[in-house]
Amino acid sequence: MESQVRGGTRWKRFAVVMVPSVAATAAIGVALAQGALAASFSVSGQSFKVTTDQLDGKGFVQYGAIDSGYTLDGKKTAHPVAVSAFKSATIKNLCQSVVTPDIPLLGSVSLILKAGGGDTPVEAENLYIDVEDLSADATFRGIDIGVAAKDAAKGPGIAKGDTANPYGFAQQADSVTLTDVKQTAWATTAGTFKLSGLKMSLSKGVKECY
């Protein structure tokens, strides 16, 4: 699929931050299980992997941006990304995973989130995905290629706080279908994010969606 990291957590947004602390990791797990965190997935200074069987999106725009933040040891980072934004989207069989290495006494710890694996897909509105790498089969409908980011009106527009050139290259489409998606991302943010059949697991070692 086709952003200085968006600032502090806002209502209707959540941040999952993996740090080298067993207590902090457990607290995140409890919050997720209780449904307290419901609209974004970001990991300070780390990318994470995402797979889905199918994403159907309406009102699509894609533009370049820069994600910046801090590593777990406090160093500044910056990463070029392609931001894929949708006014609305349904996602079948979603999996998101992140591995935090070098936790004292444990080594690597993996967090995996799964949702939309049954008859009810994940539903999102004003969805933004900051992607570093993507593979998928894609079908675009009503596509315009080479518009300026600021002029792309079919999607939700450039996200507030994104470090993006409003005159830079962008593309847009009325709708898009992506199948067999595998991607590495730095942030996922949505105005609303309904995670049907949400399941979370924490485990020692390296376990990822792909």
Taking only the tens place, the pLDDT of each residue in 108-149 is 999 999 999 999 999 999 999 999 999 999 999 999 999 999
Q: Is residue 16 part of a domain?
A: no
Query: Is the alpha carbon torsion for 68, 72, 73, 74 positive or negative?
Result: positive
pLDDT tens-digit readout, 147-195: 999 999 999 999 988 999 999 999 999 999 999 999 999 988 888 889 8
117 neighbors 197 (Cβ within 8 angstroms): yes
Confidence band (pLDDT; 50, 70, 90) for 20? very low
Average pLDDT (77-105) is: 92
153 neighbors 172 (Cβ within 8 angstroms): yes
Confidence band (pLDDT; 50, 70, 90) for 77? confident
Average pLDDT in the chain = 82
Residue 61 pLDDT exceeds 60: yes
Residue range of the domain that includes 55: 22-204
Residue 12 backbone zone (phi > 0: left; psi -120 to 50: alpha; other: beta): left
Q: Is residue 6 part of a domain?
A: no
Q: Is residue 2 part of a domain?
A: no
Q: Is residue 15 part of a domain?
A: no
Residue 58 pLDDT exceeds 60: yes
In the 8-state DSSP scheme, what is residue 113?
A: E
Residue 28 pLDDT exceeds 80: no
- d(C-alpha 19, C-alpha 80), whole Å: 23
What is the phi/psi pair of residue 153, to 5°?
Answer: -100, -5
Q: Look at the chain and report how many structural domains it folds into.
A: 1
Predicted confidence at residue 74, as pLDDT, reads 77
Q: Is residue 92 part of a domain?
A: yes
Q: Is residue 98 part of a domain?
A: yes
What is the phi/psi pair of residue 149, to 5°?
Answer: -55, -40
Side chain identity at residue 102, one-letter code = D
DSSP for 108-138 reads EEEEEEEE--SSS-EEEEEEEEEEEEEEEEE
188 or 56, which is more confident: 56
Residue 39 pLDDT exceeds 60: no
List the single range of 44-53, 79-88, 106-115, 131-140 with lowest mean pLDDT. 44-53
What is the phi/psi pair of residue 28, to 5°?
Answer: -60, -45
